[in-house]
Amino acid sequence: MSDNRWSANRRTFVKTAGAGGVVALAGCSGGDGSDGSDGSDGSDGSDNESDGGTTGETDDVPSAQFILNPAEADVEIEEQYQPMFEYLESEVEVEVESDRAASYTATLQAMRNEQGEIADISPSAVIAGEDILDVVGVRIAYGASQYFSTVTTTPDSGIESLTDLEGELIYLGDILSVSGTLVPLTILKDADLDIGNAPDGDAADFDAEYSDHTTAREQMVERDDVMAATTGAFSSAPYVPQEQFEEMSEDFVDISAEYEGAGDEIESSGTELELLAVSDPIPRAPLATRSGWDDPVKAEIEEAILNVTEDDLSHGDDYDGEPLWFTGVEEGSIEDYEPIRKVLEELGLEFEDLS
């Protein structure tokens, strides 16, 4: 598409003047009905009367607010991140505080409103917030700095290809989720399905509902009217027979950290999914800091993040929750997320009015 055609067809993704409006539009993606915070914008409720640097002071030890957004509703992300918090506090003289945001948009709003200094954030939110965020590094999972999106259905749905989804209901992730919504929409579009104004409006050839990865997958399994789910492979692969990935994507077999565990949950859960599509490799989500955070501890924290090891991120033997999904952080920059920018352009989306 030429630049002129692109300019003529651009749509404004989100127009809102405040955090509450953004979160309401995003649908507060936590599918478990609890976002773990006391404000829908990811705020810790403090007045934040600091000088624009750290969020609060405890004697001579600065504090840093770490904003977390769970990609899956059933993960206790603050417990999951405890090894990271403890590691940072052991390497840097800082007190790390955390807050679980309700959605990808809420995470970005918290950073934009100076309610956080560090963020676990979506690749799309980095593009949306490149004016106020510094990419520290790309997270690595078991040696891979790229991951995949999938479109799945159930074996008894009668859906055999993406084109069969015309006129059906599809469950997607959060509207800012790269692997849950944005990349899958390009996959559906490339299959000649008219996506209309999705995700910030109605699709033309199918109906769409939005939440998080876990909810999308579970709703497809539980509801007869949901014919497909679009999720990251980290959510779907355990329920998809490994040979289906082998038949559909050599890149997935060669690159994905989820390939070895594909199909592992089928027997124990009694749930099996049918693979309809696998995306090209996607850069994994980054860890980012707020550009306007003016404190010497920022540089120390960024250095510590890049030096973290798999051992540093591991829980003790008495921990029975979900482990932290990444095993290291590779130095990165906004340029690493140019593929995401291209996805947004293909969908005709812009984020300059997200404030």
Looking at residue 351, what is its pLDDT?
Answer: 57
Looking at residue 100, what is its pLDDT?
Answer: 93
Looking at residue 144, what is its pLDDT?
Answer: 85
Each residue's pLDDT tens digit in the chain (355 positions)? 434 333 334 334 443 323 333 332 332 333 333 333 323 333 333 344 444 444 444 458 899 999 998 666 667 899 999 999 999 999 999 999 999 998 878 899 999 999 999 999 988 889 989 999 999 999 998 778 899 999 999 999 999 999 999 999 999 998 878 999 999 999 999 999 999 999 988 999 999 999 999 999 999 999 999 999 999 999 999 999 999 999 999 999 999 989 999 999 999 999 999 999 999 999 998 999 999 999 999 999 999 999 999 999 999 999 998 889 899 999 999 999 999 999 998 998 875 433 3
- What pTM did the predictor assign? 0.71
Looking at residue 38, what is its pLDDT?
Answer: 29
Looking at residue 193, what is its pLDDT?
Answer: 98
Looking at residue 90, what is its pLDDT?
Answer: 97
Looking at residue 52, what is its pLDDT?
Answer: 44
Looking at residue 72, what is its pLDDT?
Answer: 64
**Can you give the three-state secondary structure of the chain, one letter per residue?**
CCHHHHHHHCEECCCECCHHHHHHHHCCCCCCCCCCCCCCCCCCCCCCCCCCCCCCEECCEEEEEEEECCCCCCCCHHHHCHHHHHHHHHHCCCEEEEEECCCHHHHHHHHHCCCCCEEECCHHHHHHCCCCEEEEEEEEECCECEECEEEEECCCCCCCCHHHHCCCEEEECCCCCHHHHHHHHHHHHHCCCCCCCCCCCCCCCCEEEECCHHHHHHHHHHCCCEEEEEEEHHHHHHHCCHHHHHHHCHHHHHHCCCCCCCCCCHHHHCCCCEEEEECCCEECCEEEEECCCCCCHHHHHHHHHHCCCCCCCCCCCCCCCCCCCCCEEEECCHHHHHHHHHHHHHHCEECCCEC
